[in-house]
Amino acid sequence: MTRFRCYRNHKSFAISSLSRICVGASFLRFAFLPLFLLCNASPANRVHTPIVFDSDAAYLVLMVAFSVSTGYVGTICMMFAPKTMPEGQSQVR
């Protein structure tokens, strides 16, 4: 359906490319998961993953970056979502 909207006119092509960017940015956040697994959390009970980041500062930097990306991607997606509605179906007052 997105491909159909891309070829109708230029405005829907821009919307389609922006939606791909939002989805791509959301999926790129999955890169934080292995990084968190390599941090120094519970080093005495480590069985499956090695500790690569010995410092708690690395964990804090990762957590701040994860928090900022969560807020940024969430805000961008919520601001972009109303633009994807057709003009006749939006509930603007």
Q: What is the mean pLDDT of each run of 10 residues along the chain (93 residues)?
A: 45 64 86 89 78 88 92 86 74 61
The reported pLDDT for the residue numbered 45 is 77
Q: What is the pTM of this model?
A: 0.66
Domain ranges of the chain: 2-81
The reported pLDDT for the residue numbered 81 is 77
Supply φ then ψ for residue 59, to 5 degrees.
-65, -45
The reported pLDDT for the residue numbered 64 is 95
The reported pLDDT for the residue numbered 12 is 53
